[in-house]
């Protein structure tokens, strides 16, 4: 297998990793999810890619760098969701913005499922992980604010605390990384419809 | 520290592990959750307990045995939930049985949170883990059947597939192991009320 020089592969295109770095990143995320970040060596990664260990370092400077790229992918996607929901047209109610945030979150989770799976397992064992947890908390805070605004507006029930609503709502969204399989029977649109229907309208046919 | 003879500590009381084995088990579950099962050695466990490694083996035969006890604790609790929900009084509707299953599941998750957390992270890397996954799937199948019965009865909406409802509903329930802290601001009763309210009655004050 050819091992291009770093300047051929590492140059970012429109802020995205280069093609070969992208291949390494996908394989790294898969291994991190399957056997844990700590349980994955650069040697494991090279082996899975059919490269020598030294060839890997032509593509990426370190394992930490791969973790950082993976977590940024997930966090950038989720941040864009909340940006878009918050900036929804001036006429949108808080209820509509929250519902939109839920729909878009499901789409990001499905489109970036391996990276989001990795993010959801981060426990803060390094500076990169602590940074990711800080960014994740900032997103959670903004989502909880959307919930609060919908409660204040009178469109969301007020008998459950907004913080608890936010945790359970996005707990349901996030749970799909545990069982959703890309290309399976249920696509992103069906998932986002099902989740918003259950969460906002409830499962019961008659309110009890 | 004294190291009682095996026959003093390993004798099960009413089917529960003996007192000292129980202490070892709690510490093992904590370490398995914090650093992974594979990343935890019996030496780590001994150190955390202030015992010698050989003393640990007076209490438990192996690390696998500890994993098995922990997963059984979670699975026995969840199986008891579905047993109770299925055997609810003859007058109970399928809707009431399902709602009861959700409430009881939350209580078991909160009461056995470390063991359930461990169960939810099992990926089938050993015979013990594969057995646990089989038992978990059997529980999931019975929960999905309760959902189906409530749909058939007409009390649950039929525009989302029962299997998807079951996954999202218990996905929301299971998500609480990620953020619920024992002794925190929200107790098991409040959690189970919040989850059943959101899932069955929906968040919206007016149905859209």
Mean pLDDT of A101-107: 95
The greatest distance separating any two alpha carbons of chain A, rounded to the nearest whole angstrom, comes to 66
**Helix, strand or coil for residue A52?**
coil
Residues A38-63 have a mean pLDDT of: 92
Give one word for A89, left, alpha or beta, with left for phi > 0 and alpha for psi -120 to 50: beta
What pLDDT, on the 0 to 100 scale, is given for residue A14? 42
Q: Do B198 and A36 touch (CB under 8 A)?
A: no
Show the tokens assigned to A125: 């064992």
Say which of A186, A199, A205 has its CB closest to residue B156: A205
CA distances from A129 to A37, A72, B5, B18, B86 (A): 11, 11, 44, 39, 43
Query: Quick count: other Cβ atoms within 10 Å of Cβ A130?
Result: 13
> Which residue from B minimizes the CA distance to A180?
B167
CB contact (8 A) between residue B175 and residue A172? yes
Q: Give helix A19-35 / helix A63-86 axis angle, nearest 10°.
A: 90
Are the CB atoms for B10 and B21 separated by under 8 Å? Answer: yes
The confidence score (pLDDT) of residue A155 equals 94
The whole-number pLDDT of residue A18 equals 53
Distance CA A57, CA A95 (A): 48
Model ipTM?
0.82
pLDDT for residue B208 is more than 60 = no
Q: In terms of pLDDT, which residue wins out, B69 or B5?
A: B69
Whether pLDDT at A16 is above 80: no
Q: Is 80 exceeded by the pLDDT of residue A146?
A: yes
CB-nearest to A175 from B36, B172, B206 is B172
- Quote the pLDDT of residue B19: 56
Contact B167 A175 (CB under 8 A): yes
What are the structural domains, with CATH classification, of chain B?
6-61 (1.10.10.60), 70-201 (1.10.357.10)
A197 interfaces chain B, CB cutoff of 8 Å: yes
Q: For position B18, what pLDDT does the model report? A: 52
Question: Mean pLDDT, to the nearest integer, of B29-34?
Answer: 94
Which residues in chain B touch residue A193, judged by CB atoms under 8 angstroms apart? 160
Looking at residue B45, its pLDDT comes to 96
Tokens 């499962």 belong to A203
For residue A206, the distance in angstroms to the closest alpha carbon of chain B comes to 7
> Which pLDDT does position A193 carry in this prediction?
92
Question: Is pLDDT above 90 for B16?
Answer: no
How far apart CA B175 and CA A18 sit, in angstroms, is: 36
Per-residue pLDDT at A19: 56
Whether residue B193 has pLDDT greater than 50: yes
Q: What is the greatest pairwise CA distance in chain B?
A: 66
From the list B155, B179, B205, which residue is nearest A155 (CB)? B205
Q: What is the pLDDT of residues A18-46, one digit of tens each?
A: 558 999 999 999 999 988 898 899 999 99
For CA atoms B86, B91, B95, B96, the dihedral sign is negative
Check: CB of residue B176 under 8 Å from CB of residue B161. Answer: no
DSSP chain A: -----HHHHSS-BTTBPPHHHHHHHHHHHHHHHHH-STT--HHHHHHHHT--HHHHHHH-S-HHHHHHHHHHHHHHHHHHHHHHHHTS-TT--HHHHHHHHHHHHHHHHHHTHHHHHHHHH----SHHHHHHHHHHHHHHHHHHHHHHHHHHHTSB-SSS-HHHHHHHHHHHHHHHHHH--TTSSS-HHHHHHHHHIIIII-SBSS--
Nearest chain B residue (CA) to A178: B171
Quick check: A65 contacting B, CB < 8 Å? no
In percent, the amount of chain A with pLDDT more than 90 equals 68
Q: What is the pLDDT of residues B111-169, one digit of tens each?
A: 999 999 999 989 888 999 999 999 999 999 999 999 999 999 999 999 888 989 999 99
Give the model confidence (pLDDT) of A83-97 as tens digits: 999 988 778 999 999
The residue among B42 and A9 whose pLDDT is bigger is: B42
Q: What's the CA gap between A109 and A106, in Å, rounded?
A: 5
Chain A contact for B11, CB < 8 A?
no
In the prediction, which pLDDT does A3 show? Answer: 44
- Average pLDDT of chain A is 88
Counting one residue from A and one from B, how many pairs have CB atoms under 8 Å apart?
136
Task: Tell me which chain B residues have a C-beta less than 8 angstroms from the C-beta of A39.
Answer: 36, 38-39
Q: Note whether B181 contacts A: Cβ–Cβ < 8 A.
A: no
Considering only CB atoms, which chain A residues are within 8 Å of B193? 160
Output the pLDDT for position B8: 42
Distance of CA A108 to the CA centre of its chain: 6
Q: Which of B95, B154, B208 sits opposite A201 (nearest CB)?
A: B208
């Amino acid at each position: 297998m050819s091992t291009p020089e770093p300047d051929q592969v590492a140059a970012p295109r429109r802020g995205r990793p280069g093609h070969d770095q992208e291949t390494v990143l996908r394989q790294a995320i898969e291994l991190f999810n399957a056997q844990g970040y700590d349980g994955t060596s650069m040697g494991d990664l090279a082996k899975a890619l059919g490269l020598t260990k030294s060839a890997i370092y032509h593509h990426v400077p370190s394992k930490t760098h791969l973790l950082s790229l993976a977590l940024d992918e997930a966090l950038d996607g989720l941040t864009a969701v909340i940006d878009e929901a918050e900036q929804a047209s001036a006429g949108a109610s808080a209820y509509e913005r929250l519902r939109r945030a839920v729909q878009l979150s499901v789409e990001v989770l499905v489109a970036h499922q391996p990276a989001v799976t990795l993010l959801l397992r981060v426990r803060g064992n390094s500076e990169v992980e602590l940074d990711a947890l800080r960014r994740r908390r900032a997103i959670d805070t903004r989502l909880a604010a959307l919930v609060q605004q919908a409660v204040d507006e009178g469109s969301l029930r007020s008998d459950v605390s907004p913080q608890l609503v936010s945790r359970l709502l996005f707990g349901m969204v996030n749970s799909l990384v545990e069982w959703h399989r890309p290309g399976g029977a249920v696509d992103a649109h069906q998932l986002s419809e099902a989740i918003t229907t259950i969460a906002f309208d409830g499962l019961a046919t008659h309110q009890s």
